């Protein structure tokens, strides 16, 4: 993810709070969302970045994932050694096309076919590749490459079809939240019209192929840009009194957390472009555990609270106010601190672990209604 652009491009969410108890019918709109066969149940996965010093070797990393019972990961590339190490495990993996490869793949079907042969066919099905994320926040970080985005996606998909893998492996692209405007109330959200020429055919492709809309959603940045307007508890999934719940005045739906509002804003934005059968997959969400003086809310306690409550929220399967029948799966950003990233301090402080597998902090996920949890060996750091 391009964090340097994230701070400046995350949309300002103007939340409206009502002090009145509104008795509302919170029934969701009934949409026929297509669900991938291999992941019918919502899950929590983890992003694995590469800007890490002393990162575990691929073999050690896979053993670590298995020890932690991590079954879903997203890579920012298609590292051959790691994909080889993941063979014959139960770990499902999203591989990625970096932004700097879009030009070659989007301009040449043969290059796309070669990429699929080299990075997918060579490992699947021994390595459980479930999806390909093409680029990362392309529209907002490298807009000059935007015209190549859909051609690259379609070329990769056609190569999957040629290998008869198109039903097992989905193709999509992660977007920043800032491609949406007027995101609260969610009922008024819409995609930035600047990108309609790309978003309309992209959503049609996702609908046709049963692929998800990938979104990188960060309540942390919402809070940083709206301090004094958005209470911290709303961003951290903390229990709220009715007076602090966010109420959409158009639907009268009550929102108890910011992430649900962002997900519903994505569903409404798609509906405004006549697409109502594409599921939202949250490819990134998280909270930094450390920051400089300008980021006082980047703390271990807040990171622990956000990620622990996020995991509980996913496994509670309560969906969103607009779609209680649909719970989005989430990839937490991220598994390891990327200590090689440039300042500010928070850039290097999103991980649950240091690169040597020592825990940064301990998640609290008991009572989440699932037996899944992370097991943290060794001495816990960062908390008294």
Active site residues: 137, 284
Nearest 10 degrees: Cα torsion 237, 312, 319, 131? 110
Q: Residue 382, class by beta-carbon neighbours within 10 Å (0-12 exposed, 13-18 middle, 19+ buried)?
A: middle
Q: How many residues are present in the chain? A: 384
Cα distance between residue 217 and residue 262, in whole Å: 7
According to DSSP, residue 166 is labeled: T
- Buried b / exposed e over 260-278, threshold 16 CB at 10 Å, is bbbbbbbbbbbbeeebeeb
Q: Residue 157, class by beta-carbon neighbours within 10 Å (0-12 exposed, 13-18 middle, 19+ buried)?
A: buried
Q: Cβ of 152: how many Cβ atoms within 10 Å? A: 27
Q: Residue 85, class by beta-carbon neighbours within 10 Å (0-12 exposed, 13-18 middle, 19+ buried)?
A: buried
Q: Return the residue matching tokens 């020890």.
A: 67
According to DSSP, residue 193 is labeled: G
């Amino acid at each position: 993810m391009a964090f340097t652009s994230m701070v400046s491009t995350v949309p300002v969410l103007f939340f409206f709070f009502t002090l009145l108890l509104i008795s509302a019918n919170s029934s969701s709109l009934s949409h026929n969302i297509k669900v991938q066969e291999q992941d019918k149940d919502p899950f929590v996965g983890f992003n694995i970045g590469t800007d890490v010093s002393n990162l575990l070797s691929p073999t050690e990393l896979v053993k670590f994932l298995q020890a932690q019972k991590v079954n879903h990961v997203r890579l920012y590339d298609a590292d051959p050694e790691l994909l080889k190490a993941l063979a014959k495990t139960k770990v499902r993996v999203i591989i990625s096309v970096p932004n700097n490869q879009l030009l070659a793949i989007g301009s040449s079907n043969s290059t796309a076919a070669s990429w699929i042969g080299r990075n997918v066919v060579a490992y699947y099905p021994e390595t459980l590749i479930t999806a390909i994320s093409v680029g990362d926040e392309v529209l907002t970080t490298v807009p000059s490459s935007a015209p190549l985005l859909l051609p690259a996606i379609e070329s990769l998909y056609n190569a999957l079809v040629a290998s008869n893998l198109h039903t097992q492996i989905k193709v999509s692209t992660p977007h920043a939240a800032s491609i949406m405007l007027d995101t609260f109330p969610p009922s008024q959200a819409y995609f930035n019209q600047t990108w309609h020429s790309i978003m309309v055919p992209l959503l049609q492709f996702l609908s046709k192929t049963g692929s998800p809309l990938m979104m990188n959603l960060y309540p942390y940045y919402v809070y940083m840009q709206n301090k004094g307007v958005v209470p911290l508890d709303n961003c951290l999934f903390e229990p709220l009194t009715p007076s602090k719940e966010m109420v959409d005045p158009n639907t009268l739906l009550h929102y108890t957390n910011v992430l649900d509002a962002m997900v519903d804003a994505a569903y409404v934005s798609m509906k405004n472009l006549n697409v109502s059968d594409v599921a939202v997959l949250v490819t990134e969400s998280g909270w930094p555990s450390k920051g400089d003086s300008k980021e006082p809310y980047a703390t271990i306690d807040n990171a622990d609270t956000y990620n622990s409550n996020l995991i509980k929220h996913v496994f509670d399967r309560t969906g969103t106010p607009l779609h209680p029948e649909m719970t989005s799966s989430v990839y937490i950003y991220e598994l390891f601190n990327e200590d090689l990233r440039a300042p500010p301090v928070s850039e290097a402080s999103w991980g649950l672990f240091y690169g040597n597998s020592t825990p940064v902090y301990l998640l609290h996920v008991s009572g989440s209604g699932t037996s899944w949890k992370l097991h943290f060996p060794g001495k816990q750091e960062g908390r008294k």
